[in-house]
Structure 1
Amino acid sequence: MDPALGDGSLVDDPAENAPLVLNNRSFHDVTEIVCGYTEKAPGFWWIHVVGFAATVASITQIMILYLIITGVGVWGLNNQVDWAWDITNFVFWIGIGHAGTLISAILCLLKQQWRTAVNRAAEAMTIFAVICAGIFPGIHVGRVWFAWMLFPVPNYNWIWPNFRSPLLWDVFAVSTYFTVSLLFWYMGLIPDLATLRDRAHLRLRRGESRNIELRFPVPLPLPTIRLPFKADVLRAYIYGFFAVGWRFSSTHWYRYEKAYLILAGISTPLVLSVHSIVSFDFATSVIPGWHTTIFPPYFVAGAVFGGFAMVLLLLIPLRALLPNFEDLLTLRHIENMAKIILVTGMLVGFAYSMEFFIAYYSGSEYEWHAFMYNRATPIWGSDKGAPYWWAYWAMITCNVLSPQVFWFKKMRRSVIAVWIVACFVTVGMWFERFVIIVTSIHRAYLPGEWGMFFPTPVDILTFVGTCGIFLTLFMLFVRLLPVFPMAELKAVMPGASPHDYHDEHDDDHDSEGGH
């Protein structure tokens, strides 16, 4: 094998179809690999990661409680900068959340077979990121106990939400998007949940099931606790309940594929519209730096850009930690995602440059000042330099310059290089939201209204805690649900083609519920 072709999933001839599953895996092998992640005991690394992430996640609860008791004055806000890390974090998480379903739905509509290795994780990432994003609109209003007034709930005082408020637009848009994304994710899980259900029933019939054992992840002579019930009983009931009677019949598959395609068709324009509505939080105002029509496509391109980076950031470490993961998430998948990051990174860079062109071409000195002297010019380069120039150039470095290494095939095919760039892009997308929000409002029209924002420990720890929430939920997903869609993986394997003649046959459906 040519070393330049990596693990065998890469080909230099575009007309040649490279394998999407390596090492000549059979259907049975795919079922065993994917189900093994949920059925076998987790490694100590998983227990330590979940323990650390859950500990970090608890920080958010403590900070929110402290915020409710004390008030939003514990944040670094002031009279001039009344939106800062709270809305920055909201837009950051909602961007990641929009990216997951957009990636899966668009690749599904475009019939891209390589999506099978990334769509399940991307959809799960969507759900968890939207959960993290939903924390901030509720707590940033100050009096958290009145946050329910954002919803159109009838009340005795006839106080209805202000439908002219972008905050209310976010409530309707994000809640609708979360519902559709959850249905889209759950719809794809149904066949795999049925496989896990059938495998649990099979082990119970064969008497191969064992009681649940609790082992402590510390190197101490502590006894293993054995609970008086079997894990497969829980799996059979829980997975069976959510499998909603799936039996792998042709009727089920027909209705499933039709419903999945409809949801993909609904999700794609929904994501585009919802993230455009999030951009309207800024674009519909008259504040220089926000009042621009480029924001909707700019935000959507940034969501896809940051979403693929987050998928790589999560899946590449799992590829090294979970057994046989490399056979299902190949270098071909990683290279394709690196190419998309390169393209969307160039689109984002084009949007950055167009902001300056629009500000110059408009002839508005306030707009030009917002971009040139509130963002880009260092304080040592001009008396009117931007105090937050470092944030702007960190954004440019991470989002525009770092993806350019993907012009080189060697870098696209280096797992370490791709993961490092994904880290840079994720950091850069957070800085992008910070630059858009804070640098546009920290200097008003009069110098007497100029003010600086400095984050407090509560600002920082609240955001760090949401990262812990996201990581905890994602690691629980890896442990409890199939990371890959088994049926879709098998559909892109050579043995699935009716024109492919192999002596190998799979009996997963009859013996283990696989399909």
Structure 2
Amino acid sequence: MTPLFPSTSDKIIADLYPTKFGNAGRVWTFVLLVICAIGVYGYYRQLRYGLEVTAMRDYVSWGIYISNFVFFVAISLVGSLITAVLRLSNAKWSTPLTRIAEIIAVSAIVFASIIIIVDMGRPERFMNIFLHMRIQSPIIWDVVVISTYFVVSLLLLYLPLLPDLQILNSHQKKNSGFQNWLYRFLGSFWKGTQEQLNICNRSIYILCVTIIPVAFTIHTVTSWLFATTFRPGWDSTNFGAYFISGAFLVGGGAVLVAMYLFRRYYRLEQYITADLFDKMGKIVVMLAFLYLYFNVNEYLVPAFKMKKPEETHLHELFAGKYALLFWFAILVGMIFPLIILLFRKGRQPFAAFLAGTMVVVGAWFKRYLIVTPTLLHPFLPITDVPDSYRHYFPSWEEWAITMGSLAGTLLIITFFARLFPIIPIHETVTERSENHESP
């Protein structure tokens, strides 16, 4: 590691070194664990009594689980946006955000995989996907790209962490016994030689190049799961770009939220600066415009042709029983954040945090609207079925499992921030040293 002035280097290490939970951290963790426990109990009931405990029926056979899956897959794209795109474009300002983005991506993709197994109802049949796979099935494509994306994202989280593990191993008195064991287990082979650094940097570069097409593939394939199903609202060639642009937006919004929370509760104002919020806010503005364009395209063309099934579907969204939810998702998830972040004052930390929160909340409801209204409006009219088949509102078990999965994602991020530096120490020291040495 290239040193700065010794006192400056020590200060950076002290500022970014992982710290113990305070009272607020313990309460936060306890609340997340309680929500996860309720979710586990809901899943136990689903395993014991079957999918009958859910509100899903023959028509709405996906429901909130697949909405949640699409949301997790979308938010995981933040890893390729921040780590790969900005790193390859040599945007040094993004260094404090890379690890935040990667842990969001990894935790989201973990629970995207889990929620798919939950949706199956019979988890013991999961291995049949591999034992009896059919390459013609888009579900197989989804399993392959999600697995690949998870491995690449995990490596992009781990490899830049290696120099920091050497720093953590050299401060054993600050760590608990478990931490010292964990740091040795993960990084005992790392000696910090120039050869290791060169190999690590080359590997990170290759992974950054690799993850971009993989990220585009995972969101395109997920969109194909819908587009290859003959339903109004999904019968679209626009779905791949529509999903990718929406994923970039929600990922950018999630980073704004995480930036503010880590900056405030870990006192990282010197590292996650107001200028970072300004730059990230501008990126989110661009992504919001892009997603808004694909939304207009997604609804305008079917509205112009106005085929009967599409007419019913669009009426339900724009003026029917889903109108309140639809306009909430559009206004809160895109329009309001766009208006806030267009102005410099709106890109100040707290205002950007509010805009990012709106984006994330609106994005979740947008995924719900992609799934449920479409399933309730098939091309063939619903006739001669019980009344419960015509409506869908998640049961408490579904809500418990969904909230448990969201809490589980936050729990992974929370424990990671407790055990590891959330901002790369080695890269921060090196970059500040280079900036000091440059004329």
Residue 354 of structure 1 corresponds to which residue in structure 2?
297
Q: CA RMSD in A?
A: 1.9
Whether the 8 Å contact between 2:334 and 2:362 is mirrored in structure 1 is no
How much has 1:357 moved relative to structure 2?
2.6
Whether the 8 Å contact between 1:102 and 1:271 is mirrored in structure 2 is no
Distance in 2 (CA, whole Å) between partners of 1:259 and 1:401 is: 39
Q: What is the TM-score when the length of structure 1 is the normalising length? A: 0.79
Whether the 8 Å contact between 2:303 and 2:311 is mirrored in structure 1 is no
Whether the 8 Å contact between 1:97 and 1:127 is mirrored in structure 2 is yes
Deviations 1:40-99 (A, max 9, x none): x32111111111111111122111111011111211112221121010011111111222
How much has 1:170 moved relative to structure 2?
1.7
Q: Does 1:137 align with 2:103?
A: no
Whether the 8 Å contact between 1:103 and 1:304 is mirrored in structure 2 is no
Residue 3 of structure 2 corresponds to which residue in structure 1?
none
Residue 365 of structure 1 corresponds to which residue in structure 2?
307
How much has 1:429 moved relative to structure 2?
0.6
Residues 165-174 or 333-342, more deviating = 165-174
1:292 aligned counterpart, secondary structure: coil
**1:333 pairs with one of 255, 276, 299:** 276
1:410 aligned counterpart, secondary structure: helix
Whether the 8 Å contact between 2:309 and 2:378 is mirrored in structure 1 is no
Whether the 8 Å contact between 1:334 and 1:412 is mirrored in structure 2 is yes
Unaligned runs of 5+ in 1: 1-24, 154-159, 204-208, 210-230, 379-385, 501-515
Residue 80 of structure 2 corresponds to which residue in structure 1?
101
Q: Does 1:456 align with 2:438?
A: no
Unaligned runs of 5+ in 2: 1-6, 384-388
Q: Within 5 Å, give how 1:63-462 maps onto structure 2.
A: 63-150=42-129, 152-153=130-131, 160-200=132-172, 203=173, 231=175, 233-323=177-267, 325-360=268-303, 363=305, 365-366=307-308, 368-369=310-311, 372-376=314-318, 378=319, 386-403=320-337, 404-413=339-348, 415-449=349-383, 451-462=390-401
Distance in 1 (CA, whole Å) between partners of 2:62 and 2:177 is: 50
Distance in 2 (CA, whole Å) between partners of 1:120 and 1:479 is: 13
How much has 1:234 moved relative to structure 2?
4.2
Q: Name the one with the larger helix percent.
A: 2
1:135 aligned counterpart, secondary structure: helix
How much has 1:185 moved relative to structure 2?
0.8
2:269 aligned counterpart, secondary structure: helix
With a CA cutoff of 8 Å and minimum separation of 6, indicate the structure with the bigger relative contact order. 2
Cα pair distance change 1:238/1:309, threshold 3 Å: same
Residue 4 of structure 2 corresponds to which residue in structure 1?
none
Q: Does 1:57 align with 2:36?
A: yes
2:213 aligned partner, one-letter code: P
2:9 aligned partner, one-letter code: F
1:143 aligned partner, one-letter code: R
Distance in 2 (CA, whole Å) between partners of 1:472 and 1:171 is: 24
Cα pair distance change 1:183/1:372, threshold 3 Å: same
Rg comparison, structure with higher value = 1
Cα pair distance change 1:196/1:327, threshold 3 Å: same
Distance in 1 (CA, whole Å) between partners of 2:156 and 2:433 is: 27
Cα pair distance change 1:317/1:295, threshold 3 Å: same
Whether the 8 Å contact between 1:128 and 1:474 is mirrored in structure 2 is yes
Cα pair distance change 1:367/1:485, threshold 3 Å: farther
Residue 427 of structure 2 corresponds to which residue in structure 1?
488
Residues 96-105 or 431-440, more deviating = 96-105
Distance in 1 (CA, whole Å) between partners of 2:178 and 2:47 is: 39
1:418 aligned partner, one-letter code: A
Distance in 2 (CA, whole Å) between partners of 1:271 and 1:300 is: 9
1:297 aligned partner, one-letter code: A
Distance in 1 (CA, whole Å) between partners of 2:38 and 2:141 is: 29
Deviations 1:191-229 (A, max 9, x none): 1011101222xx4xxxxx7xxxxxxxxxxxxxxxxxxxx
1:140 aligned counterpart, secondary structure: helix
Deviations 1:246-277 (A, max 9, x none): 22221121111111111111111111111111
Deviations 1:3-40 (A, max 9, x none): xxxxxxxxxxxxxxxxxxxxxx92321111111x24xx
Cα pair distance change 1:457/1:92, threshold 3 Å: same
> Hey, which bits of structure 1, 4+ residues long, moved more than 6 A?
none
Cα pair distance change 1:371/1:447, threshold 3 Å: closer
1:118 aligned counterpart, secondary structure: helix
2:230 aligned counterpart, secondary structure: coil
Distance in 1 (CA, whole Å) between partners of 2:359 and 2:418 is: 27
How much has 1:290 moved relative to structure 2?
0.6
2:59 aligned counterpart, secondary structure: coil
Cα pair distance change 1:410/1:171, threshold 3 Å: same
Cα pair distance change 1:257/1:497, threshold 3 Å: farther
Q: How many residues align?
A: 427
Residues 164-173 or 246-255, more deviating = 164-173
How much has 1:494 moved relative to structure 2?
5.7
Whether the 8 Å contact between 1:197 and 1:237 is mirrored in structure 2 is no
Cα pair distance change 1:392/1:303, threshold 3 Å: same
Whether the 8 Å contact between 2:303 and 2:310 is mirrored in structure 1 is yes
Deviations 1:359-416 (A, max 9, x none): 145x35146415531311x2xxxxxxx2211121111111221122211111112x22
2:16 aligned partner, one-letter code: V
Whether the 8 Å contact between 1:490 and 1:496 is mirrored in structure 2 is no
Residue 410 of structure 2 corresponds to which residue in structure 1?
471
Distance in 1 (CA, whole Å) between partners of 2:65 and 2:310 is: 26
Distance in 1 (CA, whole Å) between partners of 2:435 and 2:336 is: 39
2:163 aligned counterpart, secondary structure: helix
Cα pair distance change 1:367/1:355, threshold 3 Å: farther
2:135 aligned partner, one-letter code: F
Distance in 2 (CA, whole Å) between partners of 1:242 and 1:481 is: 12
Q: Does 1:34 align with 2:6?
A: no
Distance in 1 (CA, whole Å) between partners of 2:313 and 2:331 is: 17
